[in-house]
Amino acid sequence: MVLAAEPTELTLAEITSDWLDGFADALRRNDSDGAAALFLSDGHWRDLLSFTWHIQTASGTADIAAGLQRTLAATKPHEFHIPSHRAAPRLVTRAGVECIEAIIAFETATGPASGILRLVSDDTAGGEWRAWVLLTALDDIRGHEERTGSFRPDGEAYSREFGGENWADLRRKAQAYEDHEPDVLVIGGGQAGLGIAACLGQLGVDALVIDRHERIGDAWRKRYHSLTLHNQVHVNHLPYMPFPPNWPLYIPKDKLANWFEAYADSMELNVWTGTEVGGGSYDEQAGEWQITLARTDGSEIDIRPRHVVFATGVSGIPIHPELPGLEDFAGSVVHSGAYTEGHEWNGRKALVLGTGNSGHDVAQDLHASGADVTMIQRGTSLIVSLDEAQKVYSVYDEGPSLADCDLLATASPYPVLVQGYKLSALAMQAADKDLLDGLSARGFRHDIGPPDNTGFQMKYLRQGGGYCLNVGCSELIIDGEVGLMQYDDIEQFVADGVRLKDGTIMQADLIVTATGYKNQQEVVRATLGDDVADKVGPVWGFDDGGELRNMWRRTAQPGLWFTAGGLPHVRIYSKYLAMQIKATDMGKIEAVIPAGS
3-state secondary structure of 541: coil
The stretches in the chain having pLDDT less than 50 are: 1-4
Q: How many CB atoms lie within 10 A of CB 158?
A: 15
With respect to residue 146, please indicate whether it lies within any of the assigned structural domains: no
User: Do residues 342 and 467 both lie within one domain?
Assistant: yes
CA 117 to chain centre: 23
Q: Which domain holds residue 129?
A: 9-138
With respect to residue 373, please indicate whether it lies within any of the assigned structural domains: yes
With respect to residue 3, please indicate whether it lies within any of the assigned structural domains: no
Picking from 467, 485, 513, the residue at the C-terminal end of a domain is: 513
User: Do residues 477 and 545 both lie within one domain?
Assistant: no
With respect to residue 593, please indicate whether it lies within any of the assigned structural domains: no
Q: Where are the alpha helices (DSSP H) in 500-564?
A: 520-528, 530-536
Picking from 456, 490, 513, the residue at the C-terminal end of a domain is: 513
3-state helix, strand, coil split of the chain in percent (to 5) is 35, 25, 40
CA–CA dist 552, 570 (Å, integer) = 10
Name residues whose C-beta falls within 8 Å of residue 234's C-beta, 6 or more positions apart in sequence: 396, 397, 402
Beta carbons of 514 and 336 less than 8 angstroms apart? yes
- pTM exceeding 0.75: yes
Q: How many CB atoms lie within 10 A of CB 40?
A: 18
With respect to residue 85, please indicate whether it lies within any of the assigned structural domains: yes
Picking from 485, 513, 541, the residue at the C-terminal end of a domain is: 513
Residue 1: predicted pLDDT: 36
Question: What CATH number should be reported for the domain holding residue 410?
Answer: 3.50.50.60
3-state secondary structure of 384: strand
Q: Comparing C-alpha atoms, which of 384, 331, 326, 334 is closest to residue 356?
A: 384
Residue 156: predicted pLDDT: 72
With respect to residue 98, please indicate whether it lies within any of the assigned structural domains: yes
User: Do residues 410 and 487 both lie within one domain?
Assistant: yes
With respect to residue 155, please indicate whether it lies within any of the assigned structural domains: no
User: Do residues 468 and 532 both lie within one domain?
Assistant: no
Question: What CATH number should be reported for the domain holding residue 118?
Answer: 3.10.450.50
Q: How many domains does the chain have?
A: 3
Name residues whose C-beta falls within 8 Å of residue 14's C-beta, 6 or more positions apart in sequence: none
User: Do residues 496 and 530 both lie within one domain?
Assistant: no
Length of the chain: 597
User: Do residues 492 and 525 both lie within one domain?
Assistant: no
CA–CA dist 568, 269 (Å, integer) = 20
User: Do residues 377 and 298 both lie within one domain?
Assistant: no
In three-state form (DSSP H/G/I as H, E/B as E, the rest C), the secondary structure along 4-64 is: CCCCCHHHHHHHHHHHHHHHHHHHHCCCHHHHHCCEEEEEEEEEECCCCCCEEEEECHHHH
CA–CA dist 184, 288 (Å, integer) = 10
CA–CA dist 351, 512 (Å, integer) = 6
Residue 3: predicted pLDDT: 47
User: Do residues 74 and 123 both lie within one domain?
Assistant: yes
In one-letter notation, the amino acid at residue 423 is: L
Q: What is the CA radius of gyration of the chain?
A: 26
With respect to residue 37, please indicate whether it lies within any of the assigned structural domains: yes
User: Do residues 259 and 337 both lie within one domain?
Assistant: no
Residue 2: predicted pLDDT: 39
User: Do residues 507 and 432 both lie within one domain?
Assistant: yes
User: Do residues 38 and 124 both lie within one domain?
Assistant: yes
CA–CA dist 394, 374 (Å, integer) = 35
CA–CA dist 38, 127 (Å, integer) = 12
User: Do residues 465 and 387 both lie within one domain?
Assistant: yes
